[in-house]
């Protein structure tokens, strides 16, 4: 009941704000599937705020109008150009899924995505089941009598259920030999977004831990636990997680790949954490006979051992029950889903209202069957022309990077040769995978949502463990095609741009080169620069962790990174919380380098052409406005607080102002003078 009131209030507010900016029909249209992707240009004059001086705050100048025109929807923690496009993708996929759910003569791919969606949409059936889908497993945990039984259950839970049970395990490329797939054990076991949430003593952090304990008790109470028992289990869970958190590396420490690389034999692992029968553990996961493992965080595994070896049995069981439930909650009846939303979205991120069911279900299909749904998406949205043009843009930006490296005055020829070798080995992956993942072994039923979710989880788990002993699949993608994002993978040494991110207003076939190179070009440059940021530079052309820098060059690089760190540490995220620039420096350097590379590539592309001004901007100004407008956003303060701890990216305004203030090309385009805020001194430039 309380939720309904909040929801009505939030919708009223949103509608009120929209009256001044967008038509209300657009608001209503947001509740219908989209038959085609809507269009907005990559340089949008309605997003500007021309009352702001571009030399004082270029982000505000480029995005002030967008901020006013795009209030945060009630079901979102924040809203941005990327998030809005992501939402439109989902709305478009919704129509496809609704059709695939009921169409006759479906292809096998359409059957899977359609039935998964139908099962998720059938909330009456899901609600009628209550906690039944997890009841047998909860009863098994309840019935555990000895420590040995608890440990055996932990091993089995890791194989059968999603959930953060003490630690994580899986497969990955060996950091020093990227051609080999190895087993990795990682830190985990926490219900809050980061270890820092358990260690900080400020008022807001203390209160949040109380609210988290209340959530744990609420969830356990829903299964019929007495209030007293649920409270005790919540306290025990928080106590166990605090021990694990304190033994976990910080996010900044984890950016150092040497700190998370510790190969150990199974015998050595057995000495580190003797409570678990490791040969049995890996056999149960589907990987018998594992000889050695990367124990990413040995100190953390010691803490796990201490907990498993000495913690009260009742406490361990309460912890397992909670982690099983909190992972299953989104797939269970409404009260579970609501409790999960109330803590993780409302309390933690300030989101007033649950997303509509279609959105929850579209996301669920993307998560579980991403490359099946992706085929449906790509077929309808991604043209051969866009693929060819963005491929060409990528090659031009790589050429710009080559010339930059060749021309650096601070880098020795020996390091340059290695850098160029690495640059030329980078693979460009654009749009979608060469070969689609085969889901034929995965059973999907139209009336069994939890079953579908668990079968998909086990299917994916098995797929990952099966990589052991096989050559690395260089064609694999880490994002699904509709995703509005991009990435660089240092071990694959590849840059990846899903079809979802190569659409208007990011890549706009209707616009000329200036805003497109500013926007998508800078994104391509961003991912490419990751290969040479403070983390990426530690990997070589083969994707191996190997120091290819002379000590002098490494020192000069670090000096340049420190310039960027000092600059960004000055920006405030929310209240009095500054950017943790040791966490964000890789992204900040990628933003600065990426924009410069895109600018150089654009200049080359338009060499000899006479470019006309438009919208009151010179061509150079249009490049920069196009660049800035990818980052327009509004964020709830609660979400900004989460970002400050967990997000390696700086907030939108810093990603624009931090970049342009380091570019004389920008200052020249807008006539900015030394001493103005958008002319940073000293100018920080790495690449």
Binding site for Zn ion (CB under 5 A): 587, 590
Dist CA 475 CA 435 (whole Å):
8
Quickly list H helices, 543-682: 551-569, 581-605, 619-628, 637-646, 652-660, 664-670
Dist CA 463 CA 370 (whole Å):
14
Dist CA 100 CA 118 (whole Å):
9
Nearer of residues 419 and 589 to Zn ion, judged by Cβ: 589
Give yes or no: 115 in active site.
Answer: no
Smallest gap from residue 255 Cβ to Zn ion (A): 12
Nearer of residues 452 and 587 to Zn ion, judged by Cβ: 587
Which has the closest alpha carbon to 400: 599, 221, 573? 599
Eight-state DSSP code of residue 293: E
Dist CA 228 CA 660 (whole Å):
57
Q: Which of 233, 527, 588, 620 is catalytic?
A: 527
Number of H-type helices and E-type strands within the chain: 30, 11
How many angstroms separate the most distant Cα atoms in the chain?
80
Smallest gap from residue 527 Cβ to Zn ion (A): 7
Dist CA 321 CA 10 (whole Å):
34
Dist CA 370 CA 442 (whole Å):
13
Smallest gap from residue 497 Cβ to Zn ion (A): 12
CB 302 within 8 A of CB 247: yes
Query: Residues 413, 415, 419, CA angle at the centre, nearest 5°?
Result: 110
Q: How far is CA 375 from CA 225, 372, 434, 498, in A?
A: 45, 5, 11, 12
Smallest gap from residue 198 Cβ to Zn ion (A): 27
Q: Which of 233, 376, 591, 638 is catalytic?
A: 591
Enclosing H/E stretch for 181: strand 181-187
CB 270 within 8 A of CB 352: no
Smallest gap from residue 523 Cβ to Zn ion (A): 9
Nearer of residues 250 and 485 to Zn ion, judged by Cβ: 485
Nearer of residues 41 and 648 to Zn ion, judged by Cβ: 648
Q: At what angle do helices 449-465 and 147-160 cross, to 10 degrees?
A: 90
Question: Partners of 111 in the beta sheet?
Answer: none
**10 Å Cβ neighbour count for 46?**
11
CB 92 within 8 A of CB 34: yes
Nearer of residues 337 and 587 to Zn ion, judged by Cβ: 587
CB 429 within 8 A of CB 477: yes
Smallest gap from residue 590 Cβ to Zn ion (A): 5
Smallest gap from residue 117 Cβ to Zn ion (A): 31
Give yes or no: 202 in active site.
Answer: no
Dist CA 423 CA 416 (whole Å):
10
Nearer of residues 285 and 523 to Zn ion, judged by Cβ: 523
Smallest gap from residue 591 Cβ to Zn ion (A): 8
Smallest gap from residue 526 Cβ to Zn ion (A): 6
Nearer of residues 543 and 593 to Zn ion, judged by Cβ: 593
3-class secondary-structure state, position 669: helix
Query: Residues 257, 261, 263, CA angle at the centre, nearest 5°?
Result: 165
Nearer of residues 513 and 587 to Zn ion, judged by Cβ: 587
3-class secondary-structure state, position 381: helix
Nearer of residues 138 and 590 to Zn ion, judged by Cβ: 590
Residues involved in catalysis: 527, 591
């Amino acid at each position: 009941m309380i939720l309904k009131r909040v929801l009505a209030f939030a919708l009223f507010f949103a509608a009120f704000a929209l009256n001044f900016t967008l038509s209300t029909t657009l608001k209503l249209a947001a509740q219908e599937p989209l038959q085609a992707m809507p269009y907005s240009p990559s340089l949008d004059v309605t997003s500007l705020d021309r009352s702001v001086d571009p030399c004082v705050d270029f982000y505000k100048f480029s995005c002030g109008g967008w901020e006013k025109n795009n209030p945060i929807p009630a079901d979102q923690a924040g809203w941005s150009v990327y998030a809005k496009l992501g939402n439109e993708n989902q709305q478009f996929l919704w129509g496809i899924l609704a059709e695939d759910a009921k169409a006759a003569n479906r292809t096998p791919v359409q059957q899977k995505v359609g039935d998964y969606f139908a099962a998720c949409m059938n909330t009456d059936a899901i609600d009628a089941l209550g906690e039944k889908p997890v009841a047998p497993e909860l009863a098994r945990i309840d019935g555990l009598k000895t420590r040995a039984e608890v440990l055996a259950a932990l091993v089995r839970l890791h194989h059968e259920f999603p959930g953060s049970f003490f630690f994580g395990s899986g497969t990955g490329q060996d950091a020093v030999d990227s051609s080999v797939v190895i087993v990795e054990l990682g830190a985990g076991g926490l219900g809050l977004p980061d270890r820092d949430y358990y260690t900080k003593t400020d008022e807001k952090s203390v209160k949040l831990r109380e609210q988290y304990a209340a959530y744990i008790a609420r969830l356990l109470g829903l299964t019929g636990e007495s209030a007293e028992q649920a409270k005790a289990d919540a306290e025990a869970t928080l106590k166990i997680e605090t021990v694990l958190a304190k033994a976990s590396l910080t996010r900044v420490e984890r950016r150092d790949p040497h700190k998370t690389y510790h190969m150990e034999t199974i015998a050595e692992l057995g000495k580190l954490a003797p409570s678990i029968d490791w040969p049995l553990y890996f056999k149960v996961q589907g990987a018998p006979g594992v000889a050695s493992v990367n124990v990413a965080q040995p100190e953390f595994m010691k803490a796990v051992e201490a907990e498993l070896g000495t913690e009260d049995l009742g406490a361990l069981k309460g912890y397992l029950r909670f982690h099983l439930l909190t992972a299953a909650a989104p797939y269970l009846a409404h009260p579970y889903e609501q409790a999960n939303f109330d803590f993780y979205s409302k309390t933690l991120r300030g989101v007033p209202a649950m997303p509509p069911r279609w959105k929850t279900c579209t996301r669920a299909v993307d998560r579980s069957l991403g490359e099946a749904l992706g085929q449906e998406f790509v077929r309808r949205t991604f043209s051969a022309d866009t693929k060819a043009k963005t491929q060409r843009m990528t090659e031009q930006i790589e050429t710009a990077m080559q010339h930059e490296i060749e021309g650096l005055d601070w880098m020795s020829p020996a390091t340059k040769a290695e850098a160029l070798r690495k640059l030329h080995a980078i693979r460009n992956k654009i749009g979608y995978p060469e070969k689609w993942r085969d889901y034929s072994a995965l059973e999907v039923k139209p009336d069994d949502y939890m079953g579908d979710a668990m079968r998909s989880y086990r299917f994916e788990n098995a797929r990952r463990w099966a990589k052991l002993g096989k050559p690395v699949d260089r064609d694999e993608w880490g994002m699904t095609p509709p995703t509005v994002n991009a990435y660089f993978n240092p071990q694959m040494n590849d840059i990846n741009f899903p079809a979802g991110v190569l659409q208007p207003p990011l890549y706009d076939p209707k616009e000329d080169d200036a805003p497109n190179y500013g926007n998508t070009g800078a994104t391509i440059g961003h991912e490419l620069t990751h290969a040479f940021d403070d983390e990426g530079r530690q990997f070589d052309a083969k994707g191996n962790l190997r120091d290819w820098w002379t000590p002098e060059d490494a020192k000069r690089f670090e000096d340049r990174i420190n310039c960027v760190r000092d600059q960004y540490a000055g920006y405030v995220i929310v209240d009095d919380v500054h950017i943790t620039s040791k966490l964000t420096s890789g992204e900040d350097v990628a933003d600065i380098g990426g924009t410069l590379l895109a600018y150089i590539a654009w200049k080359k592309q338009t060499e000899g052409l006479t470019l006309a001004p438009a919208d009151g901007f010179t061509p150079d100004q249009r490049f920069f406005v196009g660049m800035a407008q990818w980052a327009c956003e509004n964020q709830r303060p609660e979400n900004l607080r989460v970002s400050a701890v967990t997000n390696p990216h700086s907030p939108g305004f810093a990603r624009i102002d931090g970049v342009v203030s380091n570019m004389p090309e920008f200052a020249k385009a807008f006539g900015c003078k030394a001493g103005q805020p958008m002319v940073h001194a000293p100018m920080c430039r790495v690449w």
